Chains A and B, each alone.
Chain A
Amino acid sequence: MAEQKASTSIEAVESGLAAQGYIASRQIATAVYLSQQIEKPILVEGPAGVGKTELAKAIAAWRGMKMIRLQCYEGLDEAKALYEWKYAKQLLYTQILKDKLGEVLGGAQTLHAALDQLHDFGDVFFSKEFVEPRPLLQALEQPGGCVLLIDEIDKSDAEFESLLLEILSDFQVTIPELGTVSAITPPTVILTSNSERDLGDALKRRCLHLHIGFPEQRLEERIVESRVPGISQALRRQMVGFIHEIRSLDLKKLPSVSETIDWARVLVLLQAGELDTEIVKDTLNVLLKYEADIEAAAPQVTTFIAKAARSNVFG
């Protein structure tokens, strides 16, 4: 039955991503599965460092496809995202072809006849050979499909969003001189956003909307397990518990998954057997990126360690 297939396929997505070292929650796996089935881009929102970009990389690695990345920034425009004419090449070729022009027009007696002959050659200089494909166009031209990552779309201007609409809904772009270029194989499109500004409704409507928040404790433990294999289970539990306590504080920037992984690596390097106040205080700067945050968290360290240890016992 189709329904049976769906839940097994979703599990397949989960395990496929897990094989690439990306532990996905079921919601993420569902999104990936659906985007493939109904051919829709995924718009991923969430705080920095929860693995939005990693998701795209993992999908590409899992499916064995190329990943094309377009990093957005203020002032990004068509010429950098979509395509550009190779002006230098065009100029060079006109110079080289100047001599040929005489041969082509040799037979023409009048200006009118010469023009007609020229027209027969078509728009040589505005053909595929002179187009420099940028990431968006590249993505459409991959014969085997690819994963197109449009990173931090919220950093770009509102006009750029409108540019994306055509590619997102129909997987095609229109170049005025050439016509419409459709995708050979529709790429899997992932857009990420840190919600720095609100995206337009038109863009949101064309996407599946996935919000990745901080993972639950169990999930985060699994993530650490897959990313930092050298860490002992007891320490892993303890440190993830500690980080969850930290996230309950009112901080400028809460530690996210990438910080957890960094911290786990640091703890392994320092050969820590278990958390104690000393080592946490020394390495707090790995977790927290603002001086004010470190100051706010430092007095709580001992209680948090105790709490994490307690939850460890019951968990």
Chain B
Amino acid sequence: MRENLHRFFRAARGAGVHVSPAESIDAMRAVKQVGISDRAILRDALLLTLAKSQDEKLALGDCFDLFFSQPEPRQDQPEADNDEASQDADQSPSSGAASEASQGQPPEGLGSLAQMLLSQDRNAIAAAIANASGAASLSDIRYSTQRGIFSSRILDAMGLQRLRDDLDDLTATNPALAERLRNALDALREAVRDTVSQGLALYAREEAENLRNEILRNAPLARIERRQVAEMRALIRQIARRLRERYSKPRKRQRRGHLDVRRTLRRNAAWGGVPFLTAWKRKHRDRPKIVALCDVSGSVAQVSDFFLLLIHSLHEVVDDVRSFAFSSHLIEVSEILEKKSPEEAMAEIMSKVGFGSSDYGSSLVDFEKEWMSTLTPQTTVIVLGDARSNNLDPRADILRRVSERSKRLVWLNPEGRLAWGFGDSEMPRYATFCSVVRQCATAQQLERAVSDIVATYQ
């Protein structure tokens, strides 16, 4: 049973339930208390100890039902039988299940698997499949492409080779029986395939998810497929959570700065200036103030979308975010993003300024006219765009003034470094006024960029 529970924990992890070693120990203790005879109580006990939220309870409940819907290996078979059966079934003449079910119909001299199939003892077959899949370590299955190999491994472990020989013999001697056996074999193949599919559903999810996330992290944001947008949003939220955890807790230690001589003297005036009590300067730490200017024209729009989502999920870390979107002119979008769901907000922004041909010059003019005063020496200005201004006046002078007024000016460009400066890209000209210019095409680069920006305030 312990073995089974361990496999269940793995399956639970695959289902997205976070099972730590401590929790698995708790679950073991709980199971020891309630026993395994009553499945409903067992289910409750596992749900109580392992799942820590309502979502996890649902997922784990499904996982439990799926896991225990497969027949358990029967208890009354001796352990040794399992091992032998897995190594080479034809050498271990059927003990247990097959012999108990053989009602004299199948002729002698057949392998155990053949006898089992002919006697149509479903329990025994199911038990044999479960044993064989244990021997073939089905719980290691990771990718759907491995289905074939695991199926054949399980069949081999059940003694397919011997069955084939039997089949050949029977075709010569007893064609009718051979036909029956052949049909039974087909049914067996199907059953094994189902078992493997179930195993895949149980154990492979975690790995598949990791792989998918890894690919997603490095996929170019601009060319992401529509069906992946939701997944990407989830990933961005994950990133936001990580950044929040890392940067939201102020580190108290660092706050003490140099000795404040003036305040120390004043405080100790009563003792004639002998410094009994010291006063320290406090290191002033600002939380980031961010002004984000996002290009939402054409190919950059998608990247801006994710970027804005990320920036706006950082409430605990970032004091104040003001976002602006532009293509041919510039508007403030902070309010839309705060109030609406990401999907709706983006749709509204797009309908207002999106999809135009980008004009960096006039957008910067808009910004200077109305919002230049929002910039303070604590502000980090982030511009996200490809700096392709359709050969219009780039107005780099405004960007210079922005840079002078703010703490830092960071430019994130979704295009690769090689493309900067070619065609209508004004990147080199803008770059002179930026504190940092970096490429930002994938979720991973996005995370690094935002992480760096926040870290400068720590």
Instruction: Let me know if A26 and B30 touch, CB within 8 A.
Output: no
- For window 1-41 of chain A, which residues contact chain B by CB distance below 8 Å? 1-4, 6-7, 10, 26-27, 30-31, 33-34, 37-38, 40
Chain B CB within 8 A of A128 CB = no
Chain B CB within 8 A of A58 CB = no
Q: What residues of chain A lie closer than 8 Å to B26, measured between beta carbons?
A: 38, 40, 208
Q: What residues of chain A lie closer than 8 Å to B392, measured between beta carbons?
A: none
Q: What residues of chain B lie closer than 8 Å to A27, measured between beta carbons?
A: 44, 47-48
DSSP majority for the B interface? helix
Checking A4, A37, A201 against B33 with a beta-carbon cut-off of 8 angstroms, the contacting residue is A37
Given contacts A6-B41, A205-B22, contact A34 B51 (CB under 8 A): no
Q: What residues of chain B lie closer than 8 Å to A7, measured between beta carbons?
A: 34-35, 37-38, 41
Q: What residues of chain B lie closer than 8 Å to A2, measured between beta carbons?
A: 32-33, 35
CA distance A7 to B33 in the complex (A): 10
Instruction: Let me know if A209 and B33 touch, CB within 8 A.
Output: no
Instruction: Let me know if A3 and B53 touch, CB within 8 A.
Output: no
A243: min CB distance to chain B, Å: 21
Instruction: Let me know if B33 and A38 touch, CB within 8 A.
Output: yes
Checking A38, A45, A205 against B30 with a beta-carbon cut-off of 8 angstroms, the contacting residue is A38
Checking A30, A38, A209 against B41 with a beta-carbon cut-off of 8 angstroms, the contacting residue is A30
Given contacts A2-B35, A3-B37, contact A34 B30 (CB under 8 A): yes
Chain A CB within 8 A of B29 CB = yes
In this complex, what residue of B is CB-closest to A204? Answer: B52
Q: What residues of chain A lie closer than 8 Å to B33, measured between beta carbons?
A: 2, 6, 33-34, 37-38
Chain B CB within 8 A of A306 CB = no
Q: What residues of chain B lie closer than 8 Å to A201, measured between beta carbons?
A: 18, 52
A135: min CB distance to chain B, Å: 25
Chain A CB within 8 A of B23 CB = yes
In this complex, what residue of B is CB-closest to A3? Answer: B35
Q: What residues of chain A lie closer than 8 Å to B35, measured between beta carbons?
A: 1-4, 6-7
Instruction: Let me know if B23 and A205 touch, CB within 8 A.
Output: yes
B55: min CB distance to chain A, Å: 10
Question: In the complex, which of the residues A1, A3, A30 has the most CB atoms of chain B within 10 Å of its own CB atom?
Answer: A30
Chain B CB within 8 A of A211 CB = yes
CA distance A258 to B211 in the complex (A): 48
A34: min CB distance to chain B, Å: 5
Question: In the complex, which of the residues B29, B45, B54 has the most CB atoms of chain A within 10 Å of its own CB atom?
Answer: B45
Chain A CB within 8 A of B57 CB = yes
Give the contact-size bracket for chain A.
Answer: 20 to 34
Instruction: Let me know if B38 and A3 touch, CB within 8 A.
Output: yes
- For window 127-172 of chain B, which residues contact chain A by CB distance below 8 Å? none
CA distance A61 to B47 in the complex (A): 27
CA distance A4 to B38 in the complex (A): 9
CA distance A40 to B18 in the complex (A): 19
Chain B CB within 8 A of A294 CB = no
Chain B CB within 8 A of A284 CB = no
Instruction: Let me know if B48 and A210 touch, CB within 8 A.
Output: yes
In this complex, what residue of B is CB-closest to A36? Answer: B33
Q: What residues of chain A lie closer than 8 Å to B32, measured between beta carbons?
A: 2
B39: min CB distance to chain A, Å: 11
Checking B18, B29, B51, B54 against A38 with a beta-carbon cut-off of 8 angstroms, the contacting residue is B29
Instruction: Let me know if B49 and A208 touch, CB within 8 A.
Output: yes
Instruction: Let me know if A209 and B52 touch, CB within 8 A.
Output: yes
Chain A CB within 8 A of B20 CB = yes
Chain A CB within 8 A of B80 CB = no
In this complex, what residue of B is CB-closest to A203? Answer: B52
Given contacts A2-B35, A34-B34, contact A208 B48 (CB under 8 A): yes
Given contacts A6-B33, A38-B26, A38-B29, contact A31 B41 (CB under 8 A): no
Interface positions of A (Cβ within 8 A of B): 1-4, 6-7, 10, 26-27, 30-31, 33-34, 37-38, 40, 45, 201, 204-205, 208-211
| Sample (21) of A-B pairs whose CB atoms are under 8 Å apart | A1-B35, A2-B35, A3-B35, A3-B36, A3-B38, A6-B33, A7-B34, A7-B35, A7-B41, A26-B40, A26-B44, A27-B44, A30-B44, A33-B33, A34-B30, A34-B34, A37-B30, A38-B29, A205-B22, A209-B51, A209-B52
CB-CB nearest 9 A-B residue pairs: A3-B35, A204-B52, A30-B44, A6-B34, A37-B33, A3-B37, A208-B48, A38-B29, A209-B52
Known: A27-B44, A201-B52. 14 other contacts (CB 8 A): A2-B35, A3-B35, A4-B35, A6-B41, A10-B34, A27-B47, A30-B41, A34-B30, A38-B26, A204-B53, A205-B22, A208-B48, A208-B49, A209-B52
Interface positions of B (Cβ within 8 A of A): 18, 20, 22-23, 26, 29-30, 32-38, 40-41, 44-45, 47-49, 51-54, 57
